Amino acid sequence: MAVNEVSTEVGYINRVIRNVRNVKKSEYKAFFEDLNAADCIILAGEGRSQSALYIGMGQLNKEVRTMVDIDFPGRDILEAAPVLEKRYERIALVVNSGSGETTTPKIMVKQLAEYIEREKSDKFTIDAIVSNPNSSIGRIAEKDYGTRVELKGRERVANAANALLKHGIMNDVYELSSLLLVQKTKEALNEQQEYTAVFKKVDEEAAVIGTMVDRFVCSDFYQRIIDRLETRCRVTMGGLGPGRNVAKMTAIRLQHVKRALGDEAYLSGPFAPRPRACDILFLISWSGETESILDWCREQKRFGAYVCSIVGNESSLSRESESFIIRSQPVTFYERATFALSPLPLHLVERLNQRGFRLPEYIMAWWEHSVTQ
């Protein structure tokens, strides 16, 4: 393994770590200090960028809000801003958008910036993570109330199936980089440490992630999952709370490959189909004891479907499904589960390619997918 590489099996994991390590410390310090000073943090993103932000900021010891919260005080950030000003001393709008042009976050940034300047409010900051510093969102750093962290990852790559394992699919590198950065930011904030502690935490976590991902993709469990995914079957990803965001990130990516095979991948919920024999249910749960998740597992098995899971310890779910255990505290489990699952569609494409199955060109074009992903 080359110096500073943490994974021998999944090359883009090493790029993820490099990207986070190479963040400009001066940019990041301002970003971190805004979050540290805030007593309310509002999260903004779309698609997998949103999920990465939600997973990373989960269990933060501050008030964390999103626009979809039932009790969010307004239909949009503009309507909510005066209410938030009365409730909190410092509010940070934290945005994750690789392109810096994602529709909903861009609108939120524009509306809040106009409100701050019109009302001359000193209670808000807008703090963005982007891959393009010259984007609409990235240029918020030009304002006194804005910060921006440039995080590499959204790059044009070769349009060939064997490039998947090097570069990832659908901006894996950016999404995972932002997840790791936000996760370690959250931990440092919770522990009341300085911003420099974040990069020490990144280095420590890098070794854990590399070893864990390599162990996962080399496991018999993983190979059996790939074997089943290439068959004619539907797959449903499921979890609750942060586990649902992990499931969502994986389902978004799997569905593109499965759909090309004439199948579908779903996120568990009211729009997921009833189970049938040979379908796959993939569950993510740290405790493995959540009753509703166990009910999903048991129902699926009654119909003759296949159930697998990623759990944090020996549990009812690990005993009742084919399971892989990531031994971790809850605060890091969901981040690590996201890294572990990220290569699944890549290795499925590799398997199909080995069998001579050519995926449509539009799947390859998803490397440059829409800004809403």
Position 354 scores a pLDDT of 84
Q: Which domains does the chain carry?
A: 11-213 (3.40.50.10490), 219-368 (3.40.50.10490)
The alpha carbon of residue 122 and the mean position of all alpha carbons in its chain are separated, in whole angstroms, by 31
- Which residues, including other chains, have CB under 8 Å from residue 250's CB and lie 6 or more apart? 237, 282, 338, 341, 342, 344
Q: pLDDT per residue over 282-308, tens digit each?
A: 999 999 999 999 999 999 999 999 999
Q: pLDDT per residue over 30-41, tens digit each?
A: 999 999 999 999
Q: pLDDT per residue over 186-230, tens digit each?
A: 999 999 999 999 999 999 999 999 999 999 999 999 999 999 999
Q: Is the pLDDT score of 157 beyond 60?
A: no
Q: pLDDT per residue over 305-319, tens digit each?
A: 999 999 999 999 999
Position 349 scores a pLDDT of 84
Q: Is the pLDDT score of 355 beyond 70?
A: yes
Q: Is the pLDDT score of 135 beyond 80?
A: yes
Contact 336, 284 (CB under 8 A): no
Kindly report the three-state secondary structure assignment for every residue of 194-210. Answer: CCHHHHHHHHHHHHHHH
Q: pLDDT per residue over 232-268, tens digit each?
A: 999 999 999 999 999 999 998 899 889 888 999 999 9
Distance between CA atoms of 355 and 353, rounded to whole angstroms?
5
Q: pLDDT per residue over 50-61, tens digit each?
A: 999 999 999 999
Contact 128, 97 (CB under 8 A): yes
Q: Is the pLDDT score of 348 beyond 70?
A: yes
Q: Is the pLDDT score of 345 beyond 80?
A: yes
pLDDT range class, residue 4, cuts 50, 70, 90: confident
Name the CA radius of gyration of the chain, rounded.
Answer: 20
The alpha carbon of residue 342 and the mean position of all alpha carbons in its chain are separated, in whole angstroms, by 9
Contact 315, 293 (CB under 8 A): no
Position 367 scores a pLDDT of 31
Position 366 scores a pLDDT of 45
Distance between CA atoms of 173 and 165, rounded to whole angstroms?
11
Q: Where are the alpha helices (DSSP H) in 279-329?
A: 291-302, 316-320
Q: Is the pLDDT score of 371 beyond 70?
A: no
Position 299 scores a pLDDT of 93
Q: Is the pLDDT score of 343 beyond 50?
A: yes
